[in-house]
Amino acid sequence: MTSPGDAAPVKPPPSFSPGVPRGASKTRYPNQRRDSSPSLDADLAGSRVASPTPPLSATTSELPIRSASPRTPSFRSSTPQLARSSLGSPVEGRFEGSEEIRSLIIRSFSPVVGVYASADTDELVRQKGFAGGFWQLIRPFGENIPGKLVIRDSVGASRSWEDYGVRFVDLGNNNQSPPESSGGRSSPLAHVEEVLEKQLGSLDDPLGGSLYPKDFLGFPSTSPLYKLYLRQLLSIASATPHETFRHPVACVIAISSRNIAPLETLRRLYADTNNGDKRVPDWIHPEYLRYYVLVHDEDRDDITESTKLYDQMKRHFGLHCHLLRLRSNQCVVTDDDSVQVPECEWLSPSERLYGRTEPLVDLDTGGLPHVFESDVMAIRAFVRELVAQSVVPYMENRVAVWNDQVASRRRGISGRFMSMSRRWAGFGSGSRSSLTSGGASGNYDTAHGYYRFDAPEAVLRKMADFAFMLRDWKLSASTYELLRSDYANDKAWKYHAGAYEMSAVSMLLSPSSMSTKVKIEAIDQMLETASYSYLTRCSDAPNTLRCLTLAMELLKSRGGSAVESAARWAMRVMDQSLAGSIGQGLFSERISACYAARNAVPGMKWGSRRRKAGMWSVFAADLWLRLGKPSLASAALEEAERLYADVLQGDGVFSMPEMQTFIDNLRHAVKVEYLEARGLDTRDETATAAALGTEETSEQLDRRKNRKSLIVNPLDSGLSPTQGMRDNDNAADDDFERA
């Protein structure tokens, strides 16, 4: 990333001088490095032809390109159709894909299942072409459980889910730390930014053509680039003491039919996970479910012997066992029953950058191996049985036990009395209080910064996280609320921040909550406390960004007045420079999407925020232009035209001449950058004017050649990255209302 240049920018009007987020790269105008993003054969002034560019992932389907709306004003000249809008801003309440984002957030908090296989099992799977062994083979199939999965909540009500999944992690490999990236950029957020940069640079037109999905009415849905960003942000979390989402709920212990001492091997593997090399730290609960798997080699071993061994396993280890029948021969693409292994959706940024050899985008095979169709069916049946008959019932049982034995006591009168006694008089403290804790409960180890797994505070946090992963958000919200004061009294600030964050997220996900403005204000207060504790007290930028991003998306999905609060939290992300240069552009688009989701009062003409949405879309266009991405800048300008369609004058002209000049200059800069990316020499004024469809003189072209930004640098004006945006945004709204 490069800082903004020192060249004098084109000055916008005095009342329209928004700030630019720190860390954004320079705008590359005609004399700068060419960008390889746009690669089109259609003329600049014509309609855009759908690009054959493949989608970001297998879940992105190719849909037809929406033509420009005939009712959209032209701002005196139409925006070049370099790419379609990447915003998710509905028109008049149309569906925008909020349920898809909501499902993505819910699925990111899935139970973690460890995988620990014997050496003979890994060797069998390596013969099939999977260098990572048994874990690599089954990992992609756990992210989406086939069919409906029924889960019971704390009151016994059942609900079926079709998007449930688990995360398989490898317990057999302790050396998974990625190498340091060049330039010292080794933080998780820097890795996320590198993934986005790699994605934008991997294709000539990374987000054009069919990569702009549409909803069922043909309007733009959420950008695939933003979905990738959100997925990567939610994938960077690792196992930490203050939350248990990445702690193992179960462990798959696998042996193969080739093993000469199968029962002894299973006992040894269990001992390794219990008190051996694979033993979890003191802040992870060691009592998690063990699930035993016998992998039968269909090509070389006798199924009768394997069945006898499987019956012995059930007698020795209980009903949590499974016989998995796989072929050991390697499958090739030319086989009639070959099936490509699905791509992992929840790869961490480090894995995308350093742990894979195949490309990020699936081009035909994408480097993914193939397996036999019988193997796929067997693995899917195994994963479903594991989750539906073992993992989910185990979690339901543990939540019921902890709720009865721990939480109910804390909610009762005696529990409240003991809490007050610990807080004010020091009674009831553990024997370790004088040695390990300066807090009120005596259970928090200040030297190491965590609670032991058997402390009531740790058990309740695990219970709340289990309830959250079981999607019982009412129980999880009440449990997080029960813990917040205890963490504050013990000065366990990361626990404190996490409890406030997940309490707010649980309330936002609960369908029965958030029905009044008062509750929205309470949610805002929780998020304020969580972000302050994360960033100021713990210096934890990744969790701060996760907290604010979840708040923005879930508040936006609520609609109504909640979208105003969602936009404010997105602005907070830009104010605190939590996102990189690409992230700043994506958040500008999301702010525009938030305001666009605010509809007018029924029967009235006021209440809409279309002008604010259009303005933030213009800001996003300038940010993409500074990064040398004219196709994305053009998409943002096109979205701004659509948003301004209903609020401008009949001829589509701004009432303020300075504002109109600013928009015209920005559009022209996008066109010039686009022509440079196509290899056209902009020093040829005649050819440039003909390509642009204008009558620009050489003097006008020269004045535009070396500009660094169309928006004033906030570092020069002393403003925060979004303070100028908000001030001028509100001032423009006031002027419009008076007009």
In this predicted structure, what is the pLDDT of residue 438? 41
| CA gap 182, 176 in Å, rounded | 18
pLDDT digits (tens, 9 = 90+) for 332-347: 887 778 889 999 999 9
Is pLDDT of 533 > 60?
A: yes
Segment 688-708 mean pLDDT: 45
In this predicted structure, what is the pLDDT of residue 650? 61
In this predicted structure, what is the pLDDT of residue 670? 84
C-beta neighbour count of 405 within 10 angstroms: 12
pLDDT digits (tens, 9 = 90+) for 445-493: 999 999 999 999 999 999 999 999 999 999 999 999 999 999 999 999 9
* % pLDDT > 90, the chain: 48
More confident residue, 54 or 98: 98
Mean pLDDT of the chain: 75
Q: How many residues does the chain have?
A: 739
Burial of 18 (0-12, 13-18, 19+ CB in 10 A): buried
Is pLDDT of 678 > 60?
A: yes
Concatenated DSSP letters of 157-172: -EEEESS---EEEESS
pLDDT digits (tens, 9 = 90+) for 108-156: 999 999 999 999 999 999 999 899 899 999 999 999 998 999 999 988 8
Candidate from 358-362, 410-414, 684-688 with smallest mean pLDDT: 358-362
Structure confidence at residue 2 as a pLDDT band (50, 70, 90): very low
Is pLDDT of 17 > 60?
A: no
| CA gap 646, 128 in Å, rounded | 59
Structure confidence at residue 357 as a pLDDT band (50, 70, 90): very low
More confident residue, 229 or 179: 229
Answer whether 550's CB lies under 8 Å from 523's CB. Answer: no
Pick from 58-67, 157-166, 419-428 the range whose average pLDDT is largest.
157-166
Look up residue 248 and give its DSSP letter.
E
Structure confidence at residue 403 as a pLDDT band (50, 70, 90): very high
pLDDT digits (tens, 9 = 90+) for 298-356: 999 999 999 999 999 999 999 999 999 999 998 888 777 888 999 999 999 999 988 75
Which candidate, 634, 724, 646, places its Cα nearest to that of 670?
634
Helix (H, G, I), strand (E, B) or coil at 75: coil
Helix 188-202 and helix 581-596: axis angle, to 10°? 80
Answer whether 647's CB lies under 8 Å from 72's CB. Answer: no
213 token code pair: 């999905």
672 token code pair: 């010039």
Segment 706-713 mean pLDDT: 40
For strands 248-256 and 112-117, give the pairing.
parallel
